[in-house]
Amino acid sequence: MNNTIELEDSYCAQNYKPLPVVLVKGEGVYVWDDQGNKYLDMMSAYSAVSHGHCHPQLIKILIKQANELNIVSRAFYTDKLAPLLEKACQLTGQDKALPMNTGAEAVETALKAARKWGYQVKDIKPEQAEIIACENNFHGRTIAIVGMSSEQQYKRGFGPFPAGFKRVEFGNPEALKNAITPNTAAFLVEPIQGEGGIIVPAAGYLAECARICRDNNVLLICDEIQTGLGRTGKLLASDYDQVKPDGLILGKALGGGLLPVSMFLARKDVMDVFTPGDHGSTFGGNPLASAVALEALNIIERDNLADRAFELGEYFMQALRAINSDLIIDVRGKGLLIGMEINPAKTTARSICEKLMTKGVLSKETHETIVRFAPPLVITKEQIDDAIDAIKDVM
């Protein structure tokens, strides 16, 4: 066994099962292992590396800010946070934002905001607020969030879980309508379920959910941690249905592949429920993260990464669908968030990923039957062709 792998297995909790490769370097869409082998990265750290590895401009900003001011906490103002929040709100059409670090932290922030809004603005009786999520959702790994999950492995051994959550069928607006009560504060939904298997709902689903929420004075909160910031071919996946949610959760690509940066954005009456001391984060909104995140947003806008993802995603999916193999059941996705469903009677998605690794392509299975393809948005057609050649060989 590789010494590095053996060392990590000895000292690290076994909460992941990595492919047997030790990565030491990254540039653009490529990574290299400790043996000098080169790979196409088809994972992008679950969309966190949308800009590509070690983007020169982001590295430049990181180094510049690291030499000036790094961490001072939100106990003081800094010159970097306000421009980031202004840019994020202007791009997304939201009124205000609250910065955090990880996606799960931003989801927890959204849950707290929704509940307090329910009590203060909607006048839900104390301790009675409900939040509706979807079957097959993935919003993170905290106790409250896994309590919303329908995946038993995420929950087994971690209970008891907080009350106040219920689930409805994803892609079914009528199920949402039937689940709403006077105590419902919010509907939390991924426009496309990523970890759930790249599940794309029918066109118009989110728009109908928005109408139902509006008619019932319920907040529509879109978790776009993975689907946002150009990944699906538009700035936000909710843009496909021309929906501006009442609350929006961003993360992953917001950190430019360098730092954990996330935020909850919402309309003014939702965000104004927070008062000093209600919520916080030692590292959230720090100047180093803020400087990098602002440049990450500027690059997404300047380089039209959403348009690239749309065009190249269509090209990639067409090429995958043209592969003649009885191992492939389905190819689905939006932009450069693509899932290839494998016939479980023939093989496993893990096996496909292991074989792709030997061909110089790194990917990851989800739910045992889906191979995920989500490369950096800076990928080229020629590099996609290289990936397709490798996939054909493996099939």
Q: Is 29 helix (H, G, I), strand (E, B) or coil?
A: coil
| Residue 132: burial class (beta carbons within 10 Å; 0-12, 13-18, 19+) | buried
CA 36 → CA 22, 304, 359, distances in Å?
Answer: 10, 33, 14
Q: Which long-range contacts (CB under 8 A, 24 or more apart) does 72-78 make?
A: 72/286, 72/287, 73/282, 73/283, 73/286, 74/280, 74/281, 74/284, 74/285, 78/286, 78/287, 78/290
Q: Which residue has the tokens 């690291």?
A: 66
Active site residue 223: yes
Residue 69 near residue 78 (C-beta atoms within 8 A): yes
Question: C-alpha angle 204/206/209, rounded to 5°?
Answer: 110
CA 163 → CA 22, 94, 301, distances in Å?
Answer: 41, 29, 40
Residue 220 near residue 133 (C-beta atoms within 8 A): no
Q: 223, 234, 239, 316: which is the annotated catalytic residue? A: 223
Q: 252, 316, 334, 373: which is the annotated catalytic residue? A: 252
| Residue 243: burial class (beta carbons within 10 Å; 0-12, 13-18, 19+) | buried
CA 362 → CA 47, 59, 171, 222, distances in Å?
Answer: 14, 24, 30, 29
Active site residue 138: yes
Q: 33, 80, 116, 138: which is the annotated catalytic residue? A: 138
Q: Is 251 helix (H, G, I), strand (E, B) or coil?
A: coil
Residue 289 near residue 297 (C-beta atoms within 8 A): no
CA dist., res. 87 & res. 91, Å (int) = 6
Task: Cite the active site residues.
Answer: 138, 223, 252
